[in-house]
Amino acid sequence: MATDKRITKATGVRLFWYTMWARAYPRMIGATRERSWLFFETLLPVLGVAGYVFVYRAVKAPADYIGFVVIGGAMTAFWMNVLWSMASQLYWDKDAGNLELYVICPGPMMAILLGMAVGGLVMTATRAGIILIVCSLLFGVAYQTGSLFLLVAVFLISMAALYGMGMLFASIFLVAGREAWHLSNLLQEPIYLASGFYFPVKAMGFWVATFASLIPLTLGLDAMRQLLFTADPTLGFLSVPVETGILIVLAAVFITGAGAALTKLEEVGRREGRLIERRR
């Protein structure tokens, strides 16, 4: 007896949800198949963190500065993930021939990029966790926080703003074409300096720190350091509530801007096809 099999088409929130996990799956599985990254992406960066720690010890800096370096070194993993696995991804997919599939598929581009972010977080969180644990034990870093909930909230808000910026950069890098590679290299090291990965950003002066606050990691790092190291609260740039509020605004701005840019890209790509053509 024949059975009536009906295919239910996913739409709206369900389509967004399915698309996100479909794109996250290859990255999550791929990270378990090539285990050499555990050495190159986690243990080698520990050497860079150790270099800054020995410098601070040589100049007899306060003990909190060693903790600042460890936290900053762990957070570099998220910046690298955003820069190379988010911002540059659509440009690389264009060269690989996958961008055409993204444009014509029914799933929204925001869901595709969010899937890239979720999948990349598996490797990124592992790298950051190893750097944090190994360096904390190796250099005897002591943490003290009065509110674990606030610390987690600041971290999650910072990640939302940071990955929102990565989604916005994905559209910019795609339009930039071959210059995407150069933009990625250009932004890598200056952000380490401007965001205060290895020192309090307040040391750069008020106006430089204010301008650097457009990068979510700047305020996210500063707020987390204030929550984890309470010995000298004057090292913070702004108060934690103020920095958290600014991060929420940045997250909203970047995510909204990314949505508008990706919608425009889809519209132009489907109408004219010029974003997915190979330029000669």
Angle, in degrees to the nearest 10, between helices 240-272 and 148-176: 30
Q: What pTM value is reported for the model? A: 0.82
Rounded Cα gap, residues 222 and 203, in angstroms: 12
Q: What is the mean pLDDT of residues 259-263?
A: 82
Q: What is the mean pLDDT of residues 114-134?
A: 82
Q: Which two tokens stand for residue 251?
A: 């997250």
Residue 280: pLDDT band with limits 50, 70, 90: very low
Tell me the one-letter amino acid at 125. A
